[in-house]
Structure 1
Amino acid sequence: MDVSVKNCKECGHLFQYPGFGDRICPDCKKIEDRAFQRVKDFLYDYPGATLYITAETCEVAPERIRKWLREERLQFVEITGTGLSCDHCGKPLTSGRFCADCKYRFALAAGTAREYTEEAQEKAEKEKETNSGAKMFFLGRNRRGR
């Protein structure tokens, strides 16, 4: 494992960066984890809340919530008005960086199409069916399963 010293992109302090993940120090990571937990709890209680209502209520920057959407830790309930689009084809998304169709094409090109799950295909169908609003929910199963 390649460990190097980096500056935290949040606070600027030096820390040992393990070579993967966000370049934030352990203290800032704890702060981010607490912020995510606030958002997760809020969305558990108010599924379908919009990005801006969630950001204001939880005192978390909308950009940070968008980051969690891109990481697929959160997901919009419906596609329209999310502001997220596939990095490859530009199709609107509920979360992540690529639409299900592009993920499938990438899997075919990489020769891993067999590993492409039915779950991803179901997500593609759901994306096609939903077409209005910009509300979110937490992707986890239960509130306490942190």
Structure 2
Amino acid sequence: MGELANCPRCHAVFMKGTAAICQTCVKKEEQDFQTVYGFLRKKSNRTASVNEMEAKTGVPEKQIRAFVKQKRLHPSQFPSLDYGCEKCGAPIQEGRICGSCTEEFGQNLKQLERNQQFADRIKEQEKPKAKTYYSSEYDSFE
């Protein structure tokens, strides 16, 4: 059974289940999607920018970009659609982060690995050498 929650959009109380927003907002979101999709279906509008779509449909830019991020609208079909990189906000058409941020993460991971290897070498050098003791057998103690 769902839990009682407030809708993050309209702050109405609803039973939170599979949807994170109330039924009224779900219907409004679907209506916005149909409006944007209907606009983009016209051949002359397929290359419209997100700002042009917002101006002509009345659907907020944030919602249009959310449709792209949710893969409800595909940039392969509509080339000027994009959304922001989760790290820097640069416009991207797929994934969660842009190429430059991916490269930066890779460099940081390599540096972290080098630092860890260096720390392991230092630790190994500082480790005390094991001392070996030898004893001789005495047969004369009988």
**Shorter-chain TM-score range:** 0.5 to 0.7
Match in the other structure for 1:84: 84
How has the CA–CA distance of structure 1 residues 34 and 6 changed in structure 2, closer, same or farther, with 3 Å as cutoff? same
Instruction: Identify unmatched segments of 5+ residues in structure 1.
Output: 103-146
- Deviation, 1:28, is 1.2
Q: Residue type of the partner of 1:44?
A: R
Highest RCO, 1 vs 2 (Cα 8 Å, sep ≥ 6) = 1
How has the CA–CA distance of structure 1 residues 25 and 65 changed in structure 2, closer, same or farther, with 3 Å as cutoff? same
How has the CA–CA distance of structure 1 residues 59 and 95 changed in structure 2, closer, same or farther, with 3 Å as cutoff? farther
Instruction: Identify unmatched segments of 5+ residues in structure 2.
Output: 103-142
Identity of aligned pairs, percent?
A: 27
Higher CA-based Rg: 2
Q: Residue type of the partner of 1:71?
A: Q
RMSD: 3.0
Q: Deviations over 1:12-60 (max 9, x none)?
A: 1110111x44x21101111111011000000111212110000111101
Are 2:26 and 1:29 aligned? Answer: yes
TM, length-normalised to structure 1: 0.54
State the 4+ residue runs in structure 1 displaced beyond 2 angstroms: 75-79, 81-85, 90-93, 95-99
Number of equivalent positions? 96
TM, length-normalised to structure 2: 0.55
Match in the other structure for 1:63: 62
Which of the two has greater helix per residue?
2
